């Protein structure tokens, strides 16, 4: 069996805004070829963490390495799907224009796109089923379609590690299954997917490994070993409505029928 | 028609319009207005150092202060966590006030430095400062010849860096994830805005600068198809405003700058009305299309 390389490692990362720590001594190593979920309550630093891993935010202390190298040397190997709400969708650009941004590189900004770029862009759009809308202005798309455009853009980057920030928020059922299908395909190609997620119900369905975050790393590992009562309480303690959800989740586990279903899903 | 005035106005309109497109998309449309006020202390300080009222040192002082303004705005937004519009408001009123005080302090000795005449030119008077070679070969107003190299500079920077402007304007975080220096692009844009604003309002007045920086881009943005088209349409609307506005001003024997900006505003409303009518027609014709589909999906989400 092929030995697995470490894809992303973070060592003692601390990030603070106005002296208020958002991430505190975060330390982990993520292996390549996995679908890894980063979960935690609102304001637990999930987005800050992936931005730090990608070198968008410089940590106040600690360091990040991607494939054992400093981030600036491996930029071409990472792709990013930002939160959908983080951009202005009224921007004058078509689906094609936005996906083409996936072909931009720091050192090709002053060139024009070549045939290969255009081919990859069209293929990426096809992969997410957006070809009928290729020339549509991005503001005229539904939420799910906009999310697919972002996915296509990250596919066009042809990277090895994909960072996705809440890709399942506000999307329709069709887009959700399209994203899941893509995730499986990419995993089979040996890609690493690091996905910020907040819905506890679906965690075991989507991910191989989970990093439970609340400013500090509560726990990191395979889904079943991380989602324990103690860990969830440590992460979500005090948030009542979330606690009931956690309760539901725990209850579900206690039912043998559900248990079977879970096992079936995690096997497939 | 006075060719000198019209061409000066055209180049000012092009320069302001192209940069205005990006300012608007970055939600910084009022930065041009801010810079046109906040450069006052720069002009006074340049005067104090150089000791003359020659326009070159003043331009340098003003352009430097323009850049300081954008740095200050950026600082207040990022570090003091203010809203962008509040940062703009604080920066330019404060710097303008400092400029006024500086003038008051240093005019005690009878120095003639009036902000109205230092700061704001009028396009009707551009012909007073002509470039004449060999004693009789008239090349046009100096203001126009100042704007042309700036126009070339802006065109080159925008054309060659088009992808950079596109990605850092639409999605700065994404650009940063690729290792693109977002702040370098930001300050490049701001330097150009500062340069254009300072050079233009010295010759033609602040209203023309601020107006052309916002109204033609906003009109083009209404039609909103592709970024390149928005820039091209901005140039078209700017040209229309200049030509029709000049005619209007001559007809009413009024202010030329006023006429041009009035026409720009009228074009905006005409385009907006047309657009609303077209939208209604389209929706009436195909109910099940885009609009209908969106409603359907919203139901699924909720």
Domains of chain B by range and CATH? Answer: 3-301 (1.10.3470.10)
CB neighbours of B270 closer than 8 A, spacing ≥ 6? Answer: none
CB contact under 8 A, B226 and A82: no
Whether the predicted pLDDT of A266 surpasses 60: no
- Where do we find the tokens 């400093």? A70
| CA–CA dist B28, B90 (Å, integer) | 14
The complex scores an ipTM of 0.85
Specify the number of domains making up chain A.
1
CB contact under 8 A, A82 and B174: yes
Residue B38's pLDDT is 87
Q: Which residues of A96-109 are buried (b: 16+ CB within 10 A; e: fewer)?
A: bbbbbbbbbeeeeb
Nearest to A80 among B163, B174, B224 (CB): B174
Closest to A15 in 3D by CA, of A220, A234, A213, A239: A213
Two structure tokens written together for B183: 């702040």
Nearest to A86 among B167, B173, B300 (CB): B173
Q: Which residues of A touch B291 (CB under 8 A)?
A: none
Kindly give the residue spans of alpha helices, DSSP state H, lying in B51-181. Answer: 55-78, 84-106, 115-119, 142-160, 162-170, 172-177
Domain residue limits at A18: 6-267
CA distances from B237 to B206, B207, B212 (A): 19, 17, 10
| CA–CA dist A57, A51 (Å, integer) | 6
Q: Note whether B295 contacts A: Cβ–Cβ < 8 A.
A: no
Q: Which residues of B touch A173 (CB under 8 A)?
A: 300
Nearest to B178 among A18, A91, A104 (CB): A104
Burial class (CB in 10 A: 0-12, 13-18, 19+), A10: buried
Residue A130's pLDDT is 93
Q: Tell me if A101 is assigned to some domain.
A: yes
- Positions in chain B short of pLDDT 50: 288-302
Nearest to A106 among B169, B179, B224 (CB): B179
For B179, the closest chain A residue by CA position comes to A106
Q: Note whether A93 contacts B: Cβ–Cβ < 8 A.
A: yes
CA distances from A102 to A90, A124, A157 (A): 19, 10, 5
SS3 content of chain A, % helix, strand, coil (to 5): 45, 25, 30
Residues A185-244 pLDDT 10s: 999 999 999 999 988 888 888 899 999 999 899 999 998 888 888 888 888 876 645 556
Within its chain, how far is the Cα of A22 from the centroid? Answer: 19
| CA–CA dist A241, A247 (Å, integer) | 10
Whether the predicted pLDDT of A21 surpasses 80: yes
The fraction of chain A above a pLDDT of 70, given in percent, is 87
Residue B83's pLDDT is 87
| CA–CA dist B15, B204 (Å, integer) | 13
Nearest to B170 among A72, A93, A105 (CB): A93
| CA–CA dist A73, A71 (Å, integer) | 5
Axis crossing angle, helix B182-204 with helix B55-78, rounded to the nearest 10: 140
Q: Do B119 and B109 form a contact (C-beta atoms < 8 A)?
A: no
Q: Tell me if A81 is assigned to some domain.
A: yes
Q: For the domain that residue A236 is a member of, what is the CATH number?
A: 3.40.50.300
CA distances from A217 to A197, B100, B132, B257 (A): 15, 55, 73, 61
| CA–CA dist A25, A15 (Å, integer) | 9
| CA–CA dist B122, B128 (Å, integer) | 11
For B227, the closest chain A residue by CA position comes to A92
| CA–CA dist B16, B59 (Å, integer) | 17
Burial class (CB in 10 A: 0-12, 13-18, 19+), B1: exposed
Whether the predicted pLDDT of A2 surpasses 70: no
DSSP string of B193-226?
A: HHHHHHHHHHHH-HHHHHHHHHHHHHHHHHH---
Q: Which residues of B touch A98 (CB under 8 A)?
A: 170
- Where do we find the tokens 């001559």? B250
Q: Tell me if A136 is assigned to some domain.
A: yes
Q: What is the mean pLDDT of chain A?
A: 86
Q: Which residues of A touch B25 (CB under 8 A)?
A: 88, 91-92
Residue A146's pLDDT is 94
Two structure tokens written together for A145: 């379609």
Q: Note whether B232 contacts A: Cβ–Cβ < 8 A.
A: no
Q: Tell me if A165 is assigned to some domain.
A: yes
Q: Note whether A109 contacts B: Cβ–Cβ < 8 A.
A: yes
Residues A60-89 pLDDT 10s: 999 999 998 899 899 999 999 999 999 999
Q: Tell me if A1 is assigned to some domain.
A: no
Q: Tell me if A232 is assigned to some domain.
A: yes
User: Which of B22, B80, B173 has the highest number of chain A CBs within 10 A, making it the mutation to test binding with A?
Assistant: B173
Q: Tell me if A35 is assigned to some domain.
A: yes
| CA–CA dist B210, B34 (Å, integer) | 9
Q: Tell me if A117 is assigned to some domain.
A: yes
DSSP state of A5: P
């Amino acid at each position: 069996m092929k030995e697995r390389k470490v894809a992303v490692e973070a060592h003692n990362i601390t990030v603070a805004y106005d002296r208020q720590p958002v991430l505190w001594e975060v330390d982990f190593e993520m292996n390549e070829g996995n679908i890894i979920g980063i979960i935690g309550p609102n304001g637990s630093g999930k987005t800050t963490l992936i931005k730090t891993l990608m070198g968008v935010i410089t940590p106040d202390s600690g360091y990040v390495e991607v494939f054992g190298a400093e981030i600036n040397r491996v930029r071409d190997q990472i792709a990013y799907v930002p939160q959908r709400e983080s951009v202005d969708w009224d921007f004058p650009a078509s689906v094609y224009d936005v996906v083409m941004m996936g072909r931009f590189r720091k050192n090709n900004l002053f060139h024009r796109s070549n045939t290969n770029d255009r081919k990859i862009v069209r293929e990426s759009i096809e992969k997410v089923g957006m070809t009928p809308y290729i020339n549509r202005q991005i503001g005229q798309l539904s939420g799910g379609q906009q999310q697919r455009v972002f996915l296509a853009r990250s596919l066009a980057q042809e990277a090895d590690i994909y960072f996705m920030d809440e890709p399942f928020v506000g999307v329709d059922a069709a887009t959700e299954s399209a994203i899941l299908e893509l995730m499986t395909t990419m995993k089979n190609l040996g890609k690493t997917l690091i996905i910020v997620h907040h819905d506890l119900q679906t965690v075991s369905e989507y991910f191989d490994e989970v990093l439970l975050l609340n400013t500090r790393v509560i726990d990191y590992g395979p889904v079943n070993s991380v989602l324990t009562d103690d860990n969830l309480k440590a992460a979500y303690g005090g948030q009542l409505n979330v606690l009931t959800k956690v309760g539901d989740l725990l209850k579900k586990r206690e039912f043998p029928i559900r248990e079977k279903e879970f096992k079936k899903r995690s096997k497939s | 028609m006075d060719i000198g005035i019209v061409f000066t106005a055209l180049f000012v309109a092009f320069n302001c319009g192209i940069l205005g497109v990006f300012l608007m998309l970055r939600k910084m449309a009022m930065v041009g207005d801010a810079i046109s006020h906040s450069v006052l202390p720069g002009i006074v300080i340049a005067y104090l150092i150089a000791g003359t009222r020659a326009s070159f040192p003043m331009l340098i002082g003003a352009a430097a202060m323009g850049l300081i303004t954008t740095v200050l705005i950026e600082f207040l937004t990022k570090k003091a966590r203010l809203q962008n519009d509040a940062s703009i408001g604080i920066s330019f009123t404060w710097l303008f006030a400092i400029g006024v005080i500086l003038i008051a302090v240093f005019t005690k000795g009878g120095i003639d430095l009036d902000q109205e005449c230092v700061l704001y030119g009028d396009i009707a008077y551009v012909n007073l400062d002509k470039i004449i070679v060999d004693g009789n070969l008239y090349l046009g107003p100096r203001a126009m010849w100042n704007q042309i190299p700036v126009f070339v500079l802006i065109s080159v920077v925008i054309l060659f860096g088009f992808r950079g402007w596109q990605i850092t304007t639409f999605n700065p975080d994404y650009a940063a994830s690729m290792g693109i220096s977002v702040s370098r692009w930001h300050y490049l844009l701001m330097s150009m805005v500062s340069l254009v604003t300072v050079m233009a309002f010295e010759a033609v007045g602040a209203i023309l600068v601020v107006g052309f920086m916002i109204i033609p881009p906003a009109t083009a943005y209404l039609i909103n198809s592709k970024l390149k088209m928005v820039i091209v349409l901005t140039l078209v609307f700017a040209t229309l405003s200049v030509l029709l506005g000049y005619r209007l001003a001559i007809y009413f024997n009024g202010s030329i700058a006023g006429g041009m900006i009035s026409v720009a505003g009228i074009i905006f409303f005409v385009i907006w009305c047309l657009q609303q009518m077209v939208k209604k027609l389209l929706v009436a014709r195909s109910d099940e299309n885009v609009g209908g589909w969106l409603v359907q999906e919203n139901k699924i989400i909720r």
